[in-house]
Chains A and B, each alone.
Chain A
Amino acid sequence: MDRQILIIILSTAVVTYLPRMLPLVILSRMRLPEVFLRWLGYVPAAVLAALLAPGLLLPEGKISLTGNPYLLAAVPTWIVALKTRSMALTILTGMVAMILCQH
């Protein structure tokens, strides 16, 4: 097994496990500052938007607004996500839309 890959797997597993485990195990006794909890409340939406936007707008590392299959496929995907709120249907729509947009 590649040493570099093994380090990545083990380290990412640990740094992912700690935030999953610590609040559930110790928070019944300790409380986080209220302002930090509010800050944390924004993190999921912010992370997702920060991940998504460059993937859609900069597929090759440069701004691409026309003939960009990622941007085109995002339209039906977003509509299905809003209408159905179903993860399976949204992913399926996205993948089918991507196949159609690329050909």
Chain B
Amino acid sequence: MQPQDEIVPRNVTVAPLMWQGVRAALPIVLGYLPLGFAYGVLAREAGFNLVETVLMSVLLYAGSGQFIAVSMFSSGVAAAAIIFTVFLVNLRHLLFSASLVPYLRRSRPGALALLAAEITDETFAVAINHYRDHEAQLPYHFALNLAAHSSWVLASLLGALAGNFMGDPARFGFNFALPAMFIILLVMQLKDKKTLIVATFAALFSVVIALLWPGSWNIILATIIAATLGVILEPWTGKF
């Protein structure tokens, strides 16, 4: 995790850059604390022990993916279906990772492989916004990522510890933390009418497939159908 000298100008010291990254993570930390806590509570409800709950936050580190994994696990879905759903849900990171290439291409592959492990919707959004008017700096980016990830792990741990004696998490509104996160992320994704149309298709297909075919394939199928329709319909929707 040593900062990469090749993209740090000689006259810039590392500490202020890292501090800048930690400060930039603050709004993310505020969002992650209740969400990570809710995940911790729900994971314990689903039958994960303390170590498993925290290990998933360390290794998987993907809010929606973790909620989906534990809720599918608690409803008895097969491991293969859980893994494939989490894969599809997290496939969006391809796009974030690809969008960072122009800014970070001068860094060493090893450093990038490490940096990539902590790409999330939020750390990506903050970093790409920062790079619009700042030169990309790995110390900044690593500090941003580590601060966000630490808060997620810590919040999961606290939630997992509290889960034992909190009773029903719904009593505290935690059952709406995930839908609320999806709402804000979706609102931030709806940048044009084409995307709005695709999202509407996905919502519709997801509900219809879920009604016709109980299980969790509705998310995968609806996403593939809606994104494909989005590309096919571009000659028409492109006019919007």
Contact = CB atoms under 8 A, between A and B. Distances in A.
A54 B210 contact: yes
Interface in A33-81: 35, 37-58, 61-63, 70, 73-74, 77-78, 81
Nearest to A55: B179
> Which residue of A11, A16, A19, A28 has the most chain B CB atoms within 10 A of its CB atom?
A16
Contact of A12 (B83, B91, B97): B83
Contact of A25 (B109, B178, B183, B226): B109
B187 A82 contact: yes
Contacts of A28: 101, 105
Contacts of A2: 47, 49, 52
A44 B199 CA distance: 9
B55 A42 contact: no
B228 to A, nearest CB: 7
B117 interface: yes
Contacts of A62: 211
> How many interface residues does chain B have, given as a range?
35 or more
B62 A16 contact: yes
B104 interface: yes
Interface stretch (B3-11, B14-22, B158-166, B201-209): B201-209
A23 to B, nearest CB: 4
B203 A11 contact: no
Contacts of B12: none
Interface of A: 1-2, 4-13, 15-17, 19-25, 27-28, 32, 35, 37-58, 61-63, 70, 73-74, 77-78, 81-82, 85-88, 90-99, 102
Interface of B: 27-28, 30-31, 34-35, 47-49, 51-52, 55-56, 59-62, 64-65, 68-69, 73, 79, 82-83, 86-98, 100-101, 104-105, 109, 112-113, 115-117, 119, 121-122, 170-190, 194-196, 198-207, 210-211, 214, 218-219, 222-223, 226-228, 230-231, 234
10 contacts: A16-B65, A20-B93, A20-B94, A22-B94, A32-B98, A42-B226, A78-B187, A87-B28, A90-B183, A99-B171
